[in-house]
Structure 1
Amino acid sequence: MNQDRIQGRWKQLKGKVKEQWGRLTEDDLDVIAGRRDQLLGRIQQRHGVAREDAVREVTDWEKRNPDFRLDPTDKSQ
């Protein structure tokens, strides 16, 4: 999926992400813009979790939302 499509879908799913990770701000969501590595970093920062825990949470979220995939630019995997 190209970045433009990911960003378009991201706008649709901001609410779901906000439900899951309530401490993320609108500015955080704008910066993340569908990029997995950005989401992981912001979850770590705002929720105070380890990288491994953030990866697990995002992976679980992706499994519950199979019609949507984040941009796989995460360099840790």
Structure 2
Amino acid sequence: MLGKAKAAWGELTDDDLTKAEGRVEKLTGLIQERYGKTRQQAELEVRRFFDSNRDF
């Protein structure tokens, strides 16, 4: 799933994604910070990402 997350959010490093450890709150914060999105926008992206990758 790390590869899919990297493809979805290319500005996040492997280290960022490893530190997030699949935690929604941490990943949401990283996306919000790196992409300048609102908390709500970042949460929606993360939710959609995990929903579409449930089989992992």
Which runs of 5 or more structure 2 residues have no equivalent in the other structure? none
Percent identity (aligned): 45
Q: Which has the higher helix share?
A: 2
Which runs of 5 or more structure 1 residues have no equivalent in the other structure? 1-12, 69-77
TM (norm. structure 2) is 0.88
TM (norm. structure 1) is 0.67
User: Which of 19, 22, 40 is 2:10 aligned to?
Assistant: 22
Cα RMSD (Å): 1.1
Aligned residues: 56
Question: Do structure 1's residue 60 and structure 2's residue 55 form an aligned pair?
Answer: no
| Structure 1 stretches of 4+ moved >2 Å | none
| Structure ID, larger Rg | 1
